[in-house]
Chain A
Amino acid sequence: MSATTDPYVGATLPAVAGVSPPHVVAFLIMTAALVAAPFFVYPVFLMKALCFALFACAFNLLIGYVGLLSFGHAVFLGSAGYGAAHSAKVWGFPPELAILFGTAAATVLGVVVGALAIRSKGIYFANITLAFAQMVYFFSLQAAFTGGEDGIQSVPRGTLLGVLNLKDTLTLYFVVLAIFLLGFLLIFRAIHSPFGQVLKAIRENEPRAISLGYRAEQYKLLAFVLSATFAGLAGATKALVFQLASLTDVHWTMSGEVVLMTLLGGLGTVFGPVVGAFIVVTLENYLAQLGAWVTVVQGVIFVICVLTFRRGVVGELGNLLRKSL
C-alpha cells in the first residue's frame, strides 16, 4: 500500500497501514548514517545508544500504539541483561544463545507482569507496572545469581555463531547494529500489520473494538509481551556490549529514562524513539561529570516536553513536513 497522491483524500485518511515513501527514505538515511558512524564516533557510545534506541522502540510499541504507559519497563531490560550475562558467564553459552536466553527471560516475565497489569488502564497501569518493577529490583538486589550491588561483571563476549569474534569492537558494533535493525523492522512490521491496526482501534475506542469481536485483552497482552521481548533483546545485547549486568538496568530511574527518550523523540512515531534515545544518551554523556545535574536536566526536559512539546522532535518534524514519520 502507498500513500495516495491526492492531497485531499490523503488529508482525511488516518495513518496509512504499510510502508510509505517517507518511511523508506528515513529508514535508508538512518541505516546509512549508522553504518558510517563508527568510523567517526566512538563505537561503544554508539552501541549504547543503539541498545537504548531499541529499548525505546519496544517501549513505544506499548505507549504509542496501545496507549499504555508502562513505568516499569526497565524490568525487561535488566532481567534480560541478567539472563544473558549469567548464561554467558556461568553456563558458558555462546553470545547468540545468551542473547536468546536473556530475551526469553524477558518474554516470560512479560507474560507474568502483562497478565496481571493488562486488566488496568491509564494511571493504574503505570502504577502497577512500576510496583512490579520495584519488586523485581528488590529481588535482583537479594538474589544470589545477580551479584547484588556488584552485578555480574566481566561477562565474556565470545564468538558469534563460532565465526565472528566479538572482542573486536567494530565487529561487535555491526552485530549490534544488525540486532537493532532487525528489532526495529520487526516492531515496524508489527505496528503496520492488521494486528497493529487492531491495537490502534483498541487505543482509540476499546468498547467498540470489543463489540466488533476483537478480544482486546489478548491483543493488549500480546503487544505487552512483544514490547517486553524487544526490551529484553536490547537488554541482553547491552549486557554483552558492556560485559556487565547491574542493578542500574532494573531500577525505576531506567524506566523513567525510556519514557523520557520516547517522549522527547515523539510518542507514537516510528523514528521518534531512536532520535530520542540518541539525544538523551548524548546528553548524559556530556553531563556525566556534572553529577546530580543530569537528573535536573532530565526533569527539565520532561517538563518542557509535557507543557509545550508533546509531539516530540520527530512528531514536530513530521508535522512540519506534513508526513507521518
Chain B
Amino acid sequence: MTIFGVPTQALFGQLLIGLINGAFYALLSLGLSVIFGLLNIINFTHGAQYMMGAFAAYFLLNWAGLGYWWALLVAPVAVAITGIALERTTLKRLYQLDHLYGLLLTFGFALIIQGLFRHQYGSSGLPYAMPAELAGGRNLGFMFLPNYRAWVIVFSLAVCLTTWYVIERTRLGSYLRAATENPSLVQAFGINVPRMITLTYGFGVGLAALAGVLAAPIYQVNPLMGADLIIVVFAVVVIGGLGSIMGSIVTGFGLGVVEGFTKVFYPEASNTVIFVIMAVVLLLRPAGLFGRAS
C-alpha cells in the first residue's frame, strides 16, 4: 500500500519518529517558555540540563541501582536543584541588567557543563537500557509500534498538558502569569516573587531533565546530546512565539511531525525545514504563531 507513492510503512514510521522528536521539542520549548515568561532570559543551559537529566538517569542506575521509573522521578528533581543553585548564586544578580547578559551567562554555563562531561565521558554515547515493562511493541496492522516510543509520546503529552493546565487554569498559575505581567505589583500583594522566580527556573530545568531521562533509552547518553538539539528548539520557540505555553506544545509536536514527513518526501531538507518555516513565520507573523505582538 502506498500514499503519494510512498509506502505506508515508511510514512507511518517517519510520523512516529516525528512525534517522538516533537515530544522532545515540546518538553524543551515548554521549559524555555516557562523560564522566559517569568525571568525574561533565554536559558542557553537548557540543552546541557537535558543532557544532565539523561546522565542523572545513567548514574542512578549504575551507582545507586535505581531503575528507569525512579530516574523519571529523581533525576528531574536533582537537576532542578542544581538549576536552583545556579539561579540563586548567579542568574539573580543579572535581573537588573540587559537580558542579553542572562543569555551570555547561561551560554557560558552550557559550555562549562558540556566541556566537563565531555572530558569525563568522551564524545561517544553510553548505553541506557530500556525499562523491561516497556520493551517490545505491538503490530497495529499498518505499522509496528514500539511500546517505549508510544509511552514517550503519551507521557510527554500528559506532562505538557498538565503544565498548561496548572499555569493557565489554577490559582498558582494566575500568580505566575500576574508576576510575568507586573512583578512589583504582585510582590506588593504579598507574594514572594523572588522565590517564585527561583522555583520557576527550577521547574523549567526539571522539564529539560525529564526530557533527558525519556531520551536516554532511545538515544545514547551523550555529553553533546543537547548541544545541537537546543538550537532547533530555539527555532521552535521562535515559531510558536516566546512565552506562549500552548504555542510551545502545539508547535513542538507539529514541527516534529513536519520534520518527519520532510524526511520521507524530501530528505535533503529534513535538517533545515524547521529553520525555513521559521523564516516564513517571521515574515508573516513576527511575534510567532501563538505570540502576542508587543
Contacts and interface: CB of A to CB of B under 8 A. Distances in A.
A307 B272 contact: no
Contact of B107 (A134, A302, A307): A302
B90 interface: yes
B89 to A, nearest CB: 10
Name A's interface SS: helix
A263 B278 CA distance: 28
A141 B105 CA distance: 29
B115 A131 contact: no
Nearest to B118: A292
B286 A306 contact: no
A131 B283 contact: no
A14 interface: no
A292 B94 contact: no
A237 B116 CA distance: 34
Contacts of A302: 104-105, 107-108, 111
Contacts of A69: 100, 103
Given A69-B100, A126-B42, A252-B231, A299 B275 contact: no
Contact of B94 (A116, A123, A130, A306): A306
B42 A127 contact: yes
B108 A301 contact: yes
A123 B288 CA distance: 14
A128 B238 contact: yes
B242 interface: yes
B234 to A, nearest CB: 5
Nearest to A259: B104
Interface string B195-234: 0000000000000000000000000000000001001101
Contacts of B94: 306-307
Range of interface residues on B (Cβ < 8 Å): 35 or more
Nearest to B123: A292
B115 A293 contact: yes
A24 interface: no
Interface in B93-120: 93-94, 97-101, 103-105, 107-116, 118-119
B279 interface: yes
Contact of A298 (B99, B111, B231, B279): B111
Nearest to B279: A116
A295 B103 contact: no
A124 to B, nearest CB: 7
A139 B278 contact: no
B6 interface: no
Given A256-B107, A296-B116, A302-B107, A131 B235 contact: yes
A306 B119 contact: no
Contact of A122 (B99, B272, B279, B283): B99
Contact of A126 (B97, B100, B116, B286): B100
Interface in A148-192: none
16 contacts: A69-B100, A123-B42, A126-B42, A127-B238, A128-B278, A128-B282, A131-B275, A139-B272, A256-B107, A292-B118, A292-B119, A293-B119, A295-B111, A299-B108, A299-B113, A303-B105
Interface of B: 36, 40-42, 90, 93-94, 97-101, 103-105, 107-116, 118-119, 228, 231-232, 234-235, 237-238, 242, 268, 271-272, 275-276, 278-279, 282-283, 286
Given A69-B100, A131-B278, 16 more contacts: A117-B282, A127-B42, A127-B235, A128-B278, A130-B231, A131-B238, A141-B271, A256-B107, A256-B111, A263-B104, A293-B115, A296-B115, A299-B110, A302-B104, A307-B93, A310-B97
Interface of A: 69, 71, 116-117, 119-120, 122-124, 126-128, 130-132, 134-135, 138-139, 141-142, 252, 256, 259, 263, 291-296, 298-303, 305-307, 310
